[in-house]
Amino acid sequence: MILKIIAKNLLLLSLVGLSFLLGSCDKAADGDSAESAASEFTIASNQKFSESLDLDNQQDFEDATRGLVASAPADIITNSYGQKVWDASAYDFIQGDAPDTVNPSLWRQAKLNNIRGLFEVDEGIYQLRGFDLANTTLIKGQNGWIVVDPLTTLETTKSAMAFAEQHLGEINLSAVIFTHSHIDHFGGVLSLIDAQQAAENNIPIIAPSGFMHEAVSENIVAGPAMMRRGAYMMGNGLERSATGHVDTGLGKQVIFGSTSILQPTLVIDQPQVDLTIDGVDFEFYNMPNSEAPAELTFYLPQRKAFCGAEILSHVMHNVLTLRGAKVRDALLWSDYIGQSIDRLDDVELFFNSHHWPTWGHERIITQMQQQQDMYKFIHDQTVRLANIGYTPREIAERLKLPKTLAGNFHIRGYYGTLSHNSKAVYQHYFGWYDGNPAHLNPLPPEQSSLRYVEFMGGSEALLEKAAVYQAKGEYRWVGEVLNHLVFAEPDNIAAREMLAEAYRQMAYQAESGPWRDIYLSAALELIRGSVEVNNVAMSSKAFLEQVPLKEFMKALSVKLDAEKAEGVQLKINLLFSDSDTNFVLTLRNSVMYYQQLPADSDADVTLTLTQKLFVQILLGEAGIKSLIGSDELSVDGSVLKLLKFFSLLGAAQDDFNIVLP
C-alpha cells in the first residue's frame, strides 16, 4: 500500500509541465475543428485588413527564400513511441489568397513560415528553418561547426541535422550555443552531443547566466495550469485547416517529442564577453529578463553579422505570454535593443532564433529601431494612460500604434498583440487590481453568472437579446454576455452553440495566431467537451534527469491541500541515496517547507530512494512490482505518518474547465 501511495503522489508532481518551458510541447493533435463559414461581418473585417496593409509587398518573401540551398522534405517525423512529432504536409493548404475564415495578414505570415529548408545566409553561416518552431543556425569554424540553438526535440533536431549533412557534409561540432532558456532552443541537444563527449573533446556548451535554473524552473511549479492554457494558445486540439490552426505567428506549431538538456560549460555572465571559438570571433551580450529570464545575443565582427536571439523577431512578441508566465519588462526589452543598435556600426547581416534574416545596414538598423520604438511605445503610453486614470481594458481599447510603425509587418501582432501587451505593462507596475472597488472583491463566476442571467430576464430573454447582437456582428459583446449564461447553465446547448459561433467569428478575424487558436479551442470545447491532451512526460526523461532536486521539492510543496492539512504537523526526511542528498520536509499550519539538510533524527519517517528511481516513478516506468524488495527504496519510521503525508497532496489536474464552470 505504501508503495502505491508513493508512486501515485510522486507522479502527481505534474512534470508534464516541463514541456512548456518556452511555450507548449504538446502533441500537435489531429483534432477536429467544428467548421463554420465566415459571416458577412468577418468578411468585411478581413477585407479592411487587406486594404490597410500592403499585403502584396514581396520583400519578406524575397528575404525568406534568399540563399535557399535545398527545400526541406515533407516527411512525417515520429518518436520512439510511434507518435507523430511533425508533419509539414499538414500545412500544404496554405497557398494562394487568404480564405474568408483567416485574417489575410495572419495568412501572409503563415505562408512565410511555410518556407522551409537549409539556407546559406552568408559565407559560413547557414540556417535550418521550418523543422520546428525555432531555427537552428550553423556557423563554420576552422575545425568544425558551431551549432546555435538545437531545436525542441531530439527527433526534429536529428532530422534537421541529417538534412544539413546531405548538403554540407558531416557536421562535426566545435561548440554549442543556447541563446536562451526556452525549450525550443535547447531541447534536442542530446541528439548532437552528450556531456561526456563534450568533456572528452573539449567542446564548449555556451549559455547565458541563469540558463539552467530558468530552463527547469519556469513551469515545474505552475506546470498543469500553464499546460492547460497553453493548449488553447497553441491550438493543440485543432485540425490544421482554414477553419482551424494555421500558424502561431512565431512559427508553424509547437512540437511534441523527446526533450533533453545539457549543463553549460561556459556561462556568459557579464554585459559583454568577447571570445574566439574555433577561430570565429564572438561578442556575446548578456540580456537577462528580456524575452526570456536568461538570454544572450551575439555579434560576429568578422562576418558583420548580428544574432538577435528572440529579443528581435518578425512579429510583435509577448510582454506576457497568454499561457501564463512572469510578466516581462517592456522598457528593459526596448533598452536592450537600443544598446544593440549602438554597438552595430558596421552590421550587414541580422538573423534571429525565429523567422528569416535581414540584409543591409540601413534596413537592419531601421528594423531594430522600429522594434525598439514599438516596445517603448507600449510601455510609455500604457503608463501615461494609467497615470491619468485609465484602466487596463480602457487602455487596450484606446491604444493604437502610430501609422509609422503599424504598417511594418515585422511588428504586427501575429504572436503578441498591442491589446494584451499593454495589459501586461499595466500588470508590471500596478498588478491585477484596476482601482475600481467593484473589481476588488467580486463574486466568483459561477455565482455572479446566475445573478447576471436573472438581471437580464432569464436564459430565454438573454438568448434572444444575444441573437440580435450576433446578427449585427457584435461578437465581443455576445461572447461576454453568453459566457455568463453558459456558466449559469452549462447544459444550455443553445447558449453554448451561439457562444461557440461568436468565438469562431472572432477567431477568423484575429491577426494573432494565439488569439485565433484560443477562440477556436474554446468553440471546440463548448461543442465537443474537453479535448484530450497527451502526457509528454514519458518523452522527457533525458530532461527530467537533469532537473535539480530542489525544483521537485518546490513542486511538491504547492500540491499540499491546505484544508486536509489543517492541524497536522509532520517532519519527513526524503533521502536520495545516489547523491547523499537529504531534504527535510516540515509541515505546520497547512504549509510545507523543504530544506536541504542532513537527515533530522527527530523526523517522523525517512524515505530513501535514488533520483533515478524517483524519475522512473514520475514517468510511470517503475511499477509497483519493481519497487517491492528493491534496495533503492526503503522506509524507516512511521509508515502511517508517511501515508498521512502523501494523502495530503492534492491531485494534479491539467484538464480543468476553462469555458465551462
CA distances from 161 to 82, 189, 452 (A): 21, 11, 57
423-466 per-position pLDDT tens digit = 999 999 999 999 999 999 999 999 999 999 999 999 999 999 99
Q: What's the CA gap between 117 and 97, in Å, rounded?
A: 23
**What angle do helix axes 513-528 and 104-113 make, rounded to 10 degrees?**
100
342-401 per-position pLDDT tens digit = 999 999 999 999 999 999 999 999 999 999 999 999 999 999 999 999 999 999 999 999
pLDDT confidence tier of residue 16, bands split at 50, 70 and 90:
very low
What is the amino acid identity at position 531?
Answer: V
pLDDT confidence tier of residue 45, bands split at 50, 70 and 90:
very high
Mean pLDDT of 478-484: 98
* Per-residue pLDDT at 226: 87
Q: What's the CA gap between 569 and 644, in Å, rounded?
A: 10
pLDDT confidence tier of residue 216, bands split at 50, 70 and 90:
confident
Tell me the pLDDT of the chain averaged across its residues: 91
Mean pLDDT of 483-493: 97
Cβ atoms of residues 396 and 368 within 8 Å: no
pLDDT confidence tier of residue 31, bands split at 50, 70 and 90:
very low
* Per-residue pLDDT at 533: 55
520 phi and psi angles, rounded to 5 deg: -70, -35
**Is residue 415 pLDDT above 90, yes or no?**
yes
Q: Report the 10 Å Cβ neighbour count for 442.
A: 9
Q: Report the 10 Å Cβ neighbour count for 82.
A: 6
**Is residue 32 pLDDT above 50, yes or no?**
no
* Per-residue pLDDT at 29: 43
Q: What's the CA gap between 455 and 615, in Å, rounded?
A: 53
| Strands (E) located in 157-300 | 173-177, 205-208, 266-268, 272-277, 280-286, 296-300
Beta-strand relationship, 570-576 and 605-609 = parallel
* Per-residue pLDDT at 10: 47
430 contacts: CB under 8 Å, gap ≥ 6: 386
122-141 per-position pLDDT tens digit = 999 999 999 999 999 999 99
DSSP structural state of residue 536: -
User: Taking Cα atoms as reference points, which of 460, 441, 222 lies closest to residue 326?
Assistant: 222
**Is residue 321 pLDDT above 90, yes or no?**
yes
Cβ atoms of residues 235 and 244 within 8 Å: yes
Q: What's the CA gap between 16 and 26, in Å, rounded?
A: 9
286-295 per-position pLDDT tens digit = 999 999 999 9
Largest CA distance in the chain: 77
pLDDT confidence tier of residue 186, bands split at 50, 70 and 90:
very high
Mean pLDDT of 180-209: 95
CA distances from 69 to 72, 133, 164, 352 (A): 10, 20, 10, 19
6 contacts: CB under 8 Å, gap ≥ 6: 607, 617, 633, 642, 646
Cβ atoms of residues 599 and 564 within 8 Å: no
Beta-strand relationship, 280-286 and 77-78 = unpaired
* Per-residue pLDDT at 34: 55
Q: What's the CA gap between 576 and 405, in Å, rounded?
A: 56
Q: What's the CA gap between 43 and 51, in Å, rounded?
A: 12
Mean pLDDT of 193-207: 95
Residue 216's H or E segment, with its range, is helix 211-217
CA triplet 481, 485, 489: central angle to 5 degrees? 170
519-540 per-position pLDDT tens digit = 999 999 999 987 665 545 556 7
**Is residue 166 pLDDT above 70, yes or no?**
yes
174 phi and psi angles, rounded to 5 deg: -115, -15
587-642 per-position pLDDT tens digit = 999 999 999 999 999 999 999 988 888 888 777 776 544 565 567 788 899 989 98
Mean pLDDT of 277-293: 97
pLDDT confidence tier of residue 652, bands split at 50, 70 and 90:
low
167-181 per-position pLDDT tens digit = 999 999 999 999 999
**Is residue 42 pLDDT above 90, yes or no?**
yes
62-104 per-position pLDDT tens digit = 999 999 999 999 889 998 888 889 999 999 999 999 999 999 9
Cβ atoms of residues 492 and 206 within 8 Å: no
* Whether this model's pTM surpasses 0.85: yes
pLDDT confidence tier of residue 546, bands split at 50, 70 and 90:
confident
